[in-house]
Amino acid sequence: MFVWLENTSLALWVSTSLWAYPFLLSLHIVGLAVVVGIFSMRDLRILGLFSALPINAFFALGKLAITGFVLNAISGFLLFTSQASVFVTSVPFLSKLSCIAIGMILAFFIQSRLEKIIELHTKVLAIISLACWVTAIVAGRLIAYIF
């Protein structure tokens, strides 16, 4: 199945075009900056940093973060198609996807708690969320070096 995906016209375009892979990788980085930037700032605010920043600012920013995630999902899938059979067995790639999944689940849960008084368990979730995003970034970088 993954070899078939690598041989689709879309995957071949991504892997052989001079501009496709670098362009998609750039879009992927922009999406990453939006998602991780917003959710990390929100998590740090929950933990008491940047107290001048109102917590309700993250209601609208949550929608922008979702837009960044969609950009990441689309660009990431297109990048994945170019080497699907390699990536599907890559420990860093699978770790990255796991951390992103956990990070997004936590993001939705934490967003739903912003209207309430921030309790200790929400702070603990913010710490876990930060760890997931940092781990996803590190794992993403390791994909290029560890197969």
Closest residue by Cα to residue 132 from 104, 110, 101, 99: 99
Percentage, residues of the chain above pLDDT 70: 99
pLDDT of residue 113: 86
Domain residue limits at 62: 2-142
| pLDDT, mean of residues 88-111 | 96
pLDDT in tens, 11-51: 999 999 999 999 999 999 999 999 999 999 999 999 999 88
Q: Is 147 within the bounds of a domain?
A: no
Q: Is 68 within the bounds of a domain?
A: yes
* Model pTM score: 0.89
How far is it, in rounded angstroms, from Cα 34 to Cα 86?
A: 27
User: Could you tell me the pLDDT band of residue 3, with boundaries at 50, 70 and 90?
Assistant: confident
Q: Is 105 within the bounds of a domain?
A: yes
Q: Is 91 within the bounds of a domain?
A: yes
pLDDT in tens, 125-140: 999 999 999 999 999 9
Do the Cβ atoms of 20 and 13 come closer than 8 Å?
A: yes
Q: Is 121 within the bounds of a domain?
A: yes
Q: Is 101 within the bounds of a domain?
A: yes
Residue 30, Cβ density class (10 Å: 0-12 exposed, 13-18 middle, ≥19 buried): middle
| pLDDT, mean of residues 111-122 | 85
pLDDT of residue 128: 97
Number of domains in the chain: 1
